[in-house]
Chains A and B, each alone.
Chain A
Amino acid sequence: MAEVLLSRIQKRFGAVPVIHGLDLHIHDGEFVALVGPSGCGKSTLLRMIAGLEAVTHGRIHIGGRDVTDLDPKDRDIAMVFQNYALYPHMTVAANMGFSLEHRGRPKSEIAERVRWAADVLGLAPLLERYPRQLSGGQRQRVAMGRAIVRDPQVFLFDEPLSNLDAKLRIVMRGEIKGLHQRLKTTTVYVTHDQVEAMTMADRIVVLNAGRVEQVGSPLELFDRPANQFVAGFIGSPAMNFIAGRCTSEGLAAAGALLPLSPPHRLLEGREALCGIRPEHFEICGAGDGVAAQVLLVEPLGSETQLSLRLGETPVIALFHERLGVAPGDALHVRPKPGAVHLFDPATGVRMDAEQAVA
């Protein structure tokens, strides 16, 4: 187990910068998710931690050691790849024990470690099979088994669930999280799926175009996104954004007046981008909220997702109940108290009441 320290990490491919001076401290035993859209640099960052990509500038420390210039084999890390990267010509047992065998460990020790890892992951009946004889989920578990057999200081996961179907992804999420709780090994997990990040990580690092947008616990990112990008990335369905101007009565936004909490009214006169999560709308009476027209009704069983038009702005609203509405119906909605986020329309940065002081 070890902490991972990234100091002023920069990466360029030729003249193209992909990581721009990134600092990150991952604590011992922590599960940190690197999340962001495709091309944001999360896999590149993970590969630099692994030693598979050179660092253009900056230093990487693992367990107090500067590993920036060390080969992957000298960093005491283990990696689980997106497409498993199992050796096709070796059995499951041989795959799992390969690194120990290469390091000259005794056969008895290798067998014991492989057996232990196989028991942890439920792979004991599959040890003599070849990767081509396994399902996707089994292959993923073998890839994890190959990593845990080595008892490394840090686990690195590069989108390990991307190739699995939705149902299996949910199962494997739980298994990975359970493994982390059991082994308590420092884990860095790359994913483009914010649901995976939210459910598994102790902290989430949101990356965009090679820069860190925000670092925090899942609920911190959900409740107080630092900017519009984080607000729109975290949460499913995505946050609604409504442009308008703060007035003493609320946010005037293209034909509607959205109620604002008293602290936000201190931003009177400022242009703002109002963020409201779909699940933070509530239906109210005509006098309280904003008039909305139902465009689309999507029943999800225990929830109902509505596409609404607020004034001239289309929004998505999610209600944890069944609603007897149809497209074309009119209703009134309002944001739940404290559920409104304001962002500077020019910079996307979160606007708090403290910023009302001009």
Chain B
Amino acid sequence: MNSEMSARRKVALYGLLCVLLVPFVFPTWWMVTSSLKPISDIFVFPPQLFPAHPDWSTYRQVFTVQPFAQQYWNSAWIAAVVTAATLAISSMAGYAFARIRFPGANALFIVVLTGLLIPSEVTIVPLFRMFLKLGWVNTHWPLVLIPVFGAPSVFATFVMRQFFIALPQELEEAARVDGLGRVKIFRTIALPLARPALASVAIFTFLHSWNLYLEPIVFLSTPSKFTLPQALTQYTDAYGGPMWNIQLAAATLTALPVLIVFVLAQKQFVEGLAHTGLKG
């Protein structure tokens, strides 16, 4: 009797999960399948779950309508540099806040955290004026410097600080007795043990940089310098109408690295969240 009920309950539960899955999976499914359809078939009702005659030429046209390969590279190298720089800065800053007692440490950390409270829409105009004075508008410098010294880095510092606080003090005391100084303790003891937190920070930072939209549309005006989120909005025909199928093909290609990174690193992602005490 119990096992029967259990099987019935399982079927009901899985059925419910499948229903709940639809709003999450359908947009991605629709994006991929519509990238293979002619424009006229994309908005038919009821929606076609599968393209009648898949047209793979949209993926070729993605690269001919715009310098998509160049834009892909722009997004990739900016995300890589931002991730590397954020990891370096946030790990050191997080360790300092966690382990070094200096006057005003708590107050300084609160000041740093307030950076999370200010939306980027509020600071974008003064930042534009600043970079304009520096002659860095229509370059990639703002897209690198703003995340590295802005809210994403603040969040990363918070994550790393929480991780280092949880690291047993005795490990570092043992290292002090063994003869290590502060820098070596950080490099040889704390950092190797921080891999889960570092992986989590890397994923967050990469995703944030990859998906950045406001800063590119404000600072960049040359198509060959565009990043992918900005480039996606440029797939229009001669009359200004969107070329949906090609745009969705470009969107599919844009989402691919994100999916791959998450699938490969989801274990570290969850571990990193757990280490910070943040319940996702």
Contact = CB atoms under 8 A, between A and B. Distances in A.
A81 interface: yes
B173 interface: yes
Interface in B159-185: 168, 170-171, 173-180, 184
B177 A78 contact: yes
B38 to A, nearest CB: 56
A134 interface: no
A83 B167 CA distance: 13
Interface residues of B, number: 15
A98 B189 CA distance: 11
Chain A interface mostly:
loop
A51 B179 CA distance: 12
B193 interface: yes
B192 A73 contact: no
Interface stretch (A32-40, A85-93, A178-186, A306-314): A85-93
A182 B64 CA distance: 80
Given A87-B174, A103-B179, 20 more contacts: A51-B176, A51-B177, A52-B173, A52-B177, A71-B176, A72-B176, A73-B180, A77-B177, A79-B173, A79-B177, A83-B168, A83-B170, A85-B168, A85-B170, A85-B171, A85-B173, A87-B175, A88-B193, A99-B177, A146-B174
Interface in B44-79: none
Nearest to A88: B193
Interface in A205-240: none
Interface centre among B168, B175, B179, B193 (most CB of A within 10 A): B179
A308 B177 CA distance: 51
Contacts of B177: 50-52, 72-73, 77-79, 99
B185 to A, nearest CB: 11
Interface in B123-170: 168, 170
A258 to B, nearest CB: 49
A221 B127 CA distance: 74
B179 A73 contact: yes
Interface string A250-271: 0000000000000000000000
Interface in B170-213: 170-171, 173-180, 184, 189, 192-193
